[in-house]
Amino acid sequence: MKEKKVNVAIYGSGIAGLTAAVTLLEHGVRDVCVFEKRPFQGGAISNTPMCFLAVKNDERYQDRAFKIHAEYTQFSGNMAAARAWINNSYRIPAFVESLGLEKPECVETPYEDIGRTDGYTGGFPFGMNLGDTYILKGRGVGHGAALICLRAVQKIRKLGGEVIFNTSLIELIKEEQKVTGAIVKEKNVGTYQVIANDVIVATGGIGNAAPEMLKEETGYIYTDREMSDGGNFFCNSFFNDQMTGDGLKAVWKIGGKKSPILGCGRHLAYPGIVNHVAWLVKNQLSTIMEQPYLVVNQKGKRFIDEGENRRSANMAAAMRQQPGRIAYLIFDDDTMDHLEAEGTEYFYMIFPSVKIENGREQFRKVIEEDHNKHIYVAPTLENLAEQTGIDKETLLETVQWYNELCDKGHDDDFAKDPAYMRPVRKANFYCMKFVNVNYSQIGGITVDEKCHVLDREMNPIGHLYAAGDSAASVIYGPHTPNVTSISSVAYTQGMICADNIAKEQHVK
């Protein structure tokens, strides 16, 4: 079999892999090669997040951020790995600027606000508000991370590194307790062996291209973006994401320990609402999706303080415990008037809408012209139950009780803010079906604070590292992270891999 010898082989060209490669080369490590299965650079989240988190290089801020994170995750992740992420995250802004990009806008989080206000300037749980938010400037319809990936590839090549596209990781080669290389398959070349002193797996999580693996590892039933087949999860990454869990399977095969596979938000079926990616909206329905109105499960029961609907990660985590892992937002004609005349209760920076403009026409167009089968308008609640399949009797009971609570001005069930208690009485009735969504399912590989891959006995596998989506869940344990937080982890874990490889190779 043909062989290719390198010093450090990196599999995956998302934020984690590319950050590792650049940092290695800047440390003076030579013969670094990045392998990417697609014909272009970028991972699941690398083409999307517009911002990242960085904690100040100040022990007071780092200590507070760590304690908030530890409590938020109930100490269920690897706390040493979490500490390493937090303490190194301050390096991200300088790294981004070193690629020749415009300095990101910084929204500072005062010390007192860490863990006490929404994360990432809004829309994320308090427990994710650990530091400053840096907002990247995009180009055209692309967010800033796509430019980061492009510039990183350019810098890798300028510093003498190599990037090879159209090359898939097939399996890792392990001798005794250390990895010595991998088998790869390159398009138009074939299968060959890569011999390496150190290997970094940064191949991402599980995406649209791996429905069977998704179901086996998470219990989710894959659906397409039109939600056309009764599934309850889809990935919001770019088309042709090719996230088939190659790195996870390769690590597991040689004895690597699994980490939790998790990570969800909630979203709507695509037709008529967004274009090929979630932030390119066609109307204001994505903003309506986030409003804190009545939410029920398939059985017709409430299950959460709907004020949490503004925080996608929280709503998604609650949905995971519901029948079919789906939910429905329901409101009436009076509330539609309110949205149009007085405005929204909340909007996220991606979907900014102070007031809804002609909301009824937006619903009509999406249903009648775009044929979205998961957006509903009904003349009666009974008809709405028939359209959605929600249990009719329970829905009627829930709405009656909910309206009584609205009249009372107090939510006896979930203590929702009375300002959001809007009754559901006046036809027509409007409804949106949610399913869980993320840019990929995150996790699968267990690493320590140095990003060494661990075996099933929690011992390091020699010369094998992992970073990014494939390894990020160790920081959270079984708790649901969100994609924006994971980009911060990806940058930092890439740096940590590079730091430790350079140290172990005795490169100053």
CA 268 to CA 388: how far, in whole Å?
14
Q: What does the block give as tokens for 282?
A: 């066609």
Q: What pLDDT is attached to residue 482?
A: 64
Residue 383 pLDDT more than 90? yes
Q: What pLDDT is attached to residue 286?
A: 93
What's the whole-model pTM score? 0.94
Task: List, in order, residues 6 or more apart from 295 with CB less than 8 Å away.
Answer: 302, 303, 304, 306, 309, 315, 327, 328, 329, 330
Per DSSP, the three-state class of 346 is coil
User: DSSP assignment, residue 420?
Assistant: G
| pLDDT average, residue stretch 339-343 | 97
The 10s digit of each residue's pLDDT in 400-435 is 999 999 999 999 999 999 999 999 999 999 999 999
**Beta strands 32-35 and 3-11: pairing type?**
parallel
Mean pLDDT is highest, among 309-318, 332-341, 437-446, for 332-341
CA 424 to CA 285: how far, in whole Å?
19
The 10s digit of each residue's pLDDT in 231-279 is 998 887 766 778 899 999 999 999 999 999 887 788 999 999 988 777 7
| pLDDT average, residue stretch 30-59 | 88
Task: List, in order, residues 6 or more apart from 467 with CB less than 8 Å away.
Answer: 16, 17, 19, 20, 200, 201, 202, 447, 451, 490, 493, 494, 496, 497
Q: What are phi and psi of 240, to 5 degrees?
A: 60, 40
Strands (E), 272-366: 294-296, 326-332
Task: List, in order, residues 6 or more apart from 113 with CB less than 8 Å away.
Answer: 129
Q: What pLDDT is attached to residue 207?
A: 83
20-29, 102-111, 135-144: which range is least confident on average? 135-144
Which residue is listed with tokens 């272009």?
Answer: 40
